[in-house]
Structure 1
Amino acid sequence: MKMHFCIPVSQQRPDALGGRYVLYSVYLDGFLFCRVRYSQLHRWDEQLRRVFGKCLPPFPPKYYLAMTTSMADERRNQLEQYLQNLSMDPSVLRSDVFTDFLKQLQLSTFNLTAKKTSLDIFLPGGKRINIEILTSDTAERVLEVVSHRIGLCPELLGYFGLFLIQFHKEGQLSVLKKMADFELPYVSLQSSEEVNCKVGLRKWYMDPSLDFMLLDCRVAVDLLYLQAIQDMEKEWAKPTQAQRKKLEALQKEDNQTKFLELSREVQHYGCLQLDPCTCDYPEPGCVAIVSVGNYEISCHITLPGDQTQDVIFQMNKVKCWQVTFLGTLLDMDGPQQTLNQNLELRFQFNKDSQWQWFVIYTKQ
């Protein structure tokens, strides 16, 4: 899974000797992940190179004279690119030297220590379980604890993930992000600036045909079944009237396998629907309902005159994509605040033999 690191801001802080140092705010998928000094990252890079050698991306060099504003911006951009490139290497991501360093950074950034605690995990359909963990447990470890608790076959762990989910009134919810394996769910939950956030378990693949890989595990089928029902209730998946009648009959019979088989024929089944957001297609400022999955991005667009237009972007026609953090950050010596936090996703697609850009603005 690709993830997006960015360092949109840095702050000057006083040190114990009366000097100044720079503290970088690192965001992961649009949410504050940690704050870190250049010297800490430099020592970490040296540790990584002792393990992985020269295959690592280049690390920004030291400056032995005072940095100008342009030099400071260049270093911030270089550190951002370093983290982004580093996270693309699966062997680095799985290493203890990578995970242990980031665990300590997350804890220290938010003034937390490693200790026992409890955490509610919300399952599809609204049920929740309470598990005992350490505040320093990664999402990968918490997922293992959850799977053992509910009896999910260990070999199927890779098909599920932990998500930061925001609950709204009348049972509505927003899936804000999938947690990275090395992320600390307890810390991310405590540090989130969004209200009413919880940690939820969901399948995270977006290819409905992969459901077949899970049908031999009773618990996995239960999870898929409950998530399918939930997604249809929230109108993320959109069955026709005829499909809905058949699905309701199968639900009354509790025929989960047949229900899932028919669900795979439903429009947007297995997709993740974003909250209403804005896009620049076919003109700037249009409101869009975006569903992502099954190798496509589907957009229901409302034009300024209230006309609507449905556009589907097939992923095999997407050339490249870029994510940019657009949050307004207050750069100050005191506590940092994030305002109007948004991400810009732009991708280039082929239409009528020409390459065009499509841009979405969203928090998710």
Structure 2
Amino acid sequence: MKMHFCIPVSQQRLDALGGHYVLYSVYLDGFLFCRVRYSQLHRWNDQLRRVFGSCLPPFPPKYYLAMTASMADQRRDQLEQYLQNVTMDPNMLKSDVFVDFLKLVQMDTFSVTTKRASLDVYLPDGRNIQVEILTSDTAERVLEVVSHKIGLCRELLGYFGLFLIQFCQESKLSVMKKLVDFELPYVSLRSSEVENCKVGLRKWYMDPSLDSMLMDCRTAVDLIYMQAIQDIEKEWAKPTEMQKQKLEALQKEDNQTKRSFASSCSPPLPLEQYLELSQDVRHYGYVQLDPCVCDYPEPGCSVVLSVGNHEINCCVTLPDNQTQDVIFHINRVKCWQVTFLGTLLDVDGPQKTLNENLELRFQYSENSRWQWFVVYTKQAFLLSSCLKKMISEKMVKLAAENPEMQIEVPEQGKSKKYHIQQSQKDYFSFLPSKSKIKVAEVDCVLGAIKEDDL
């Protein structure tokens, strides 16, 4: 699936000889990732082509005459499409040519040199693990270092991820984005310019039933146990009063058991019972977004979105202050797109995120007809990532149930071929902007899986 790369702005600069060049601001998941020249991307494409040949998407051609404004906009759009399309090949994402270039331009953009550094990685219970890394270490590498330090089984790394997390007032928590494998956590954290932003370790799967895959690893169980407690404390998961009492009793019993059997490799019984009971808690394992606005059932309604277990759950506040729960099932979502509706007023200044004036709209089958629903949220890219993850997990499960068919399906942390025909596609489209800076619309559109396609 495509990544959320976009190039909403570009600036013309003078080089050392007095000539002009264009510097493109590349954003990933709404955060400034790097600034790069066309010539750098052109050389990178040549290197990739020597390794991967004709499977690469077309690269925007050189212009040997001065570009007009429309030609410059067209090139920016084409470069954006190229970055989105080149990330669709999982083999390319893992290649040294791909990763080394993106590491270099990310570090150059923020003037970071390679050196040893300490990085605090926060666990769901609020504790932080300090790890010694290089500033040029990718999120994939940092996750390996963290897992080694806490004793997490290496084969379970795909079930966890590093996230940028904001610790807000009144003990509230906001998940801003998941760091992709080739991002540099040290650089991303320094460049985010978001107050109280930390790197956090969280599980990264949307289907709560996948907890069962982690039960043989004590550290993995401890992590999902910590996150379950945190989600209940933050009111992301919503137990009934009876469930809450039982969970608190099991948590107290587990604390006593841990003091008696601190060196045990297997999870204590109360912990396992706690997680088993948590499976029945409403919104267990969901990602909750900050309060935002939607257009359903009427425009301008406040809404809190919880995403997980193959659904988007919307707690909508109506104009009369009554609340209404609206559930959208992922298997009835045909497509979605993220759109940046605003403008970057100071492209050379400190503003480095696109998290203002974002919307995510998705097409949904309701009463045998397709409708568009719109959510206005600064976490639109995170919401899109969650939707992609749910689609991916659904495809893995479908492939496991139909082993005789073939499909390219992303697994937890790797890619594997199955025998199913894929009817889903990724598209990226654009909306015109009234501002002087042409702003791209970034979207991820996936066709619905239909029974006729199998």
Q: TM-score range by the shorter chain?
A: over 0.9
Matches within 5 A, 1:109-124: 109-124=109-124
Q: Secondary structure at the match of 1:114?
A: coil
Give the aligned partner of residue 169 of structure 2. 169
The one-letter code of the counterpart of 2:110 is F
Give the aligned partner of residue 79 of structure 1. 79
- Whole-Å Cα distance in 2 between the matches of residues 185 and 206 of structure 1? 23
Q: Tell whether 2:361 aligns with 1:337.
A: no
Deviation at 1:337, TM superposition (A): 2.8
Give the aligned partner of residue 17 of structure 1. 17
- Whole-Å Cα distance in 1 between the matches of residues 76 and 13 of structure 2? 16
- Which of these residues, 310, 334, 338, is aligned with residue 319 of structure 1? 334
The one-letter code of the counterpart of 2:118 is S
The one-letter code of the counterpart of 2:12 is Q
- Structure 1's 331 and 63: CA in aligned 2 closer, same or farther, altered over 3 A? farther
Matches within 5 A, 1:194-343: 194-254=194-254, 255-326=270-341, 328-330=343-345, 334-335=348-349, 337-338=351-352, 341-342=355-356, 343=358
- Structure 1's 164 and 326: CA in aligned 2 closer, same or farther, altered over 3 A? farther
Q: Secondary structure at the match of 2:239?
A: coil
The one-letter code of the counterpart of 1:337 is Q
Name whichever structure is richer in strand by fraction: 1
Q: Tell whether 2:160 aligns with 1:160.
A: yes
Deviation at 1:243, TM superposition (A): 1.2
| Contact persistence 1:25–1:35 (CA under 8 A) | yes
Query: Percent of aligned pairs with the same residue?
Result: 75
| Contact persistence 1:345–1:359 (CA under 8 A) | yes
Unaligned ranges ≥5, structure 1: none
| Contact persistence 1:203–1:224 (CA under 8 A) | yes
Matches within 5 A, 1:37-186: 37-186=37-186
- Whole-Å Cα distance in 2 between the matches of residues 126 and 46 of structure 1? 45
- Whole-Å Cα distance in 2 between the matches of residues 339 and 134 of structure 1? 25
Q: Secondary structure at the match of 1:253?
A: helix
List 4+ stretches of structure 1 deviating above 4 A.
none
- Whole-Å Cα distance in 1 between the matches of residues 278 and 212 of structure 2? 13
Deviation at 1:69, TM superposition (A): 1.4
TM superposition score normalised by structure 2: 0.78
Unaligned ranges ≥5, structure 2: 255-269, 380-454
| Contact persistence 2:160–2:203 (CA under 8 A) | yes
Deviation at 1:68, TM superposition (A): 1.4
| Contact persistence 2:238–2:281 (CA under 8 A) | yes
Give the aligned partner of residue 189 of structure 1. 189
- Structure 1's 33 and 340: CA in aligned 2 closer, same or farther, altered over 3 A? closer
The one-letter code of the counterpart of 2:355 is Q
Give the aligned partner of residue 7 of structure 1. 7
Residue by residue, what CA displacement relative to the aligned partner does 1:137-185 show, whole Å, maximum 9, x if unpaired? 0000000000000010111111000000001123211000000000000
Deviation at 1:308, TM superposition (A): 2.1
Which stretch of the first structure deviates more once superposed, 242-251 or 314-323?
242-251
| Contact persistence 1:329–1:336 (CA under 8 A) | no
- Whole-Å Cα distance in 1 between the matches of residues 376 and 86 of structure 2? 26
Deviation at 1:2, TM superposition (A): 5.3
| Contact persistence 1:9–1:331 (CA under 8 A) | no
Deviation at 1:87, TM superposition (A): 1.1
Q: Secondary structure at the match of 1:180?
A: coil
- Whole-Å Cα distance in 2 between the matches of residues 303 and 62 of structure 1? 53
- Whole-Å Cα distance in 1 between the matches of residues 238 and 6 of structure 2? 35
The one-letter code of the counterpart of 1:19 is G
Please provide the CA RMSD for this pair: 1.4
Q: Secondary structure at the match of 1:239?
A: coil
Deviation at 1:331, TM superposition (A): 5.1
- Whole-Å Cα distance in 1 between the matches of residues 148 and 303 of structure 2? 39
- Whole-Å Cα distance in 1 between the matches of residues 225 and 369 of structure 2? 41
| Contact persistence 1:139–1:179 (CA under 8 A) | yes
